[in-house]
Amino acid sequence: MQNLLIVDDNDEIRRQLKWGLSKSNYELIFARDGVEGLNMFKRHSPPVVTLDLGLPPNENGIEEGLRCLGEMLRMDPTAKIIVITGNEEKDAALQAVRLGAYDYYKKPVNLDELKVMIDRAMYLQNIESENQELRRQSVNETGIVGECPAMQAVFTQIDRVAASDVPVLVCGESGTGKELVARAIHKKSLRAESDMIPINCGAIPENLLESELFGYEKGAFTGANKMLKGKVEYADKGTLFLDEIGEMPMTLQVKLLRFLQEMMVTRVGGRKEIPVDVRIITATNIDIQKAMEDGSFREDLFYRIGVMTINLPPLRERGGDIELLANYFLKSVSVGQRSTNKGFSQEALDCIKGYDWPGNIRELENRVKRAVIMATGPEIMPEDLGMKGDEAMRQKLQMDDISLKEARLLLERDMVERALDKFSGNIVKAAASIGVSRPTFYDLMKKHGLKNA
């Protein structure tokens, strides 16, 4: 069921629309004024909105209605907004359409006519969304792989924010693919022909970060033998990606805020203000809300950079995407290594699916790269991944539905692996340490797909 937002200060009209549209296939969301309307729009992302132009504090004017229209289209340029006007306000309605409204409807409200207009707007929005989905289906277009619901929501957000210049904050643990999301937004935006310039705010010392961002004039400090542009200037007409924004020192947060307010750069050691036209995307792996509470991150800066927020799920919460990504990386790495005949053994897949992946996608990719190099046979084994099964075993043993047989197999494999490690592959000593004969030990190795390195 799709969301339909109705913004109108008139109680009677809201009741009329609620009654008339209650049997339609829409989830109705109501707002009494512009502030509430914008909050509902941001929270629910409705594809279609009916917006009364005459909103408080001046119900007889159109200023608040036009302001809301502009803000909504800034947040989601694809939204279909139908403005509701008085019978004598045709000029205002046409002005709204010029600003980007989908259509206008003159009071008094005829439910049948308005419903036809809403249905048509929803239909058009669905067609446009389907076309966007078809354009996005190629994985290689952005390099982002994912089929789980959480990632589908991320893909939808990428499409929505790419169409505008609204600042975007990408949140997620290290290794979840925040820069990939930033690049996807840039590639799908109107700035795609220009560069996306990344800078890692947490990797550059505080005394160098300002000049990296804003550049410096000749003679600004010892060693400044010539003028140098900063990353912000190089990103002009494109996108500036500020990674690990949460690590930015407080003194630079103030200067960044001033830049975002004015879109003017002053190089270190200079006085000239240089106008730039950039789209800002930021990313962080820290809890920004907590950082604001403890005073390490400015609240006013957050409201500048976090107009739209995209939250990336950690790999451990992505279900079947883990195996999907593992096979994607295996195929990519194998082609580069000219080794296209390798596949994962069942034991390796069990380890991959059972592991917690604290390093997220980056760790998975690195382990697969290692495995392609280390594997000597057609199948990749857990040891090729640098995983002896310990991590997967510990987590599987904590599962409520594991059977006694499965637990025994996991413990058996673990004992054999530990014995091999302890005695550096000496089969006689390893077998004796767990109380079995050498032939039995070989049988156990074969049973669990283990090799003697």
Q: What is the pTM of this model?
A: 0.58
Give the CA distances from residue 281 to residues 140, 144, 158, 164, 205, in Å, rounded to whole numbers and listed in that order: 21, 17, 12, 12, 21
**pLDDT of 91:** 87
**pLDDT of 377:** 82
Angle between helices 346-354 and 321-337 (to 10 degrees): 130
Residue 143 falls in which region: left (phi positive, over 0), alpha (psi -120 to 50) or beta? left
Within 13 Å of residue 438, how many CA atoms lie on the same side as its CB?
Answer: 5
Q: How many CB atoms lie within 10 A of CB 411?
A: 12
Q: How many CB atoms lie within 10 A of CB 204?
A: 17
Structure tokens belonging to residue 354:
């059972």
Instruction: Give the C-alpha separation, 132 to 47, whole Å.
Output: 14
Q: What is the DSSP letter of 307?
A: S
Alpha-carbon torsion angle 374, 377, 378, 380, nearest 10: -40
Instruction: Give the C-alpha separation, 75 to 45, whole Å.
Output: 9
385-441 pLDDT, tens digit per residue, is: 888 655 555 555 554 455 666 667 777 887 888 788 777 788 888 888 887 888 888
Alpha-carbon torsion angle 320, 321, 324, 325, nearest 10: -150
Residue 222 falls in which region: left (phi positive, over 0), alpha (psi -120 to 50) or beta? beta
**pLDDT of 139:** 47
- Which runs of E-coded beta strand occur in 2-152? 2-7, 26-31, 48-52, 80-85, 103-106
Buried b / exposed e over 92-101, threshold 16 CB at 10 Å, is bbebbeeeeb
8 Å CB contact between 167 and 305: yes
**pLDDT of 283:** 97
Instruction: Give the C-alpha separation, 182 to 235, whole Å.
Output: 14
Instruction: Give the C-alpha separation, 353 to 347, whole Å.
Output: 10
**pLDDT of 332:** 84
Residue 386 falls in which region: left (phi positive, over 0), alpha (psi -120 to 50) or beta? left
Q: In what order do the strands lie in the sheet with 103-106?
A: 26-31, 2-7, 48-52, 80-85, 103-106
Can the peptide bond before residue 439 be classed as cis, meaning omega within 30 degrees of 0? no
Instruction: Give the C-alpha separation, 81 to 47, whole Å.
Output: 8
Instruction: Give the C-alpha separation, 75 to 165, whole Å.
Output: 9
Instruction: Give the C-alpha separation, 48 to 51, whole Å.
Output: 10
8 Å CB contact between 407 and 432: no
**pLDDT of 400:** 46
**pLDDT of 261:** 94
Which 3 state secondary structure label does DSSP give 22? coil
Instruction: Give the C-alpha separation, 381 to 395, whole Å.
Output: 19
**pLDDT tens over the chain, length 453 residues:** 889 999 999 999 999 999 989 888 899 999 999 999 999 999 998 999 999 998 988 877 889 999 999 999 988 888 999 999 886 778 888 999 999 999 999 988 899 999 999 999 999 988 887 765 554 444 445 668 998 889 989 999 999 999 899 999 999 998 999 999 999 999 999 999 999 999 999 888 888 999 999 999 988 888 888 999 999 999 999 999 999 999 999 999 999 999 999 999 999 999 899 999 999 999 999 999 999 999 999 999 999 999 999 999 999 999 989 999 999 899 888 776 665 567 899 889 988 988 888 889 998 998 898 888 888 888 899 888 888 655 555 555 554 455 666 667 777 887 888 788 777 788 888 888 887 888 888 888 888 888 776
Buried b / exposed e over 262-299, threshold 16 CB at 10 Å, is eeebbbbebeeebebebbbbbbbbbebeebbeeebbbe
Instruction: Give the C-alpha separation, 200 to 272, whole Å.
Output: 26
Instruction: Give the C-alpha separation, 13 to 100, whole Å.
Output: 24
236-294 pLDDT, tens digit per residue, is: 999 999 999 999 999 999 999 999 999 999 999 998 999 999 999 999 999 999 999 99
**pLDDT of 140:** 41
**pLDDT of 374:** 84
- Which residue type sits at 159? D
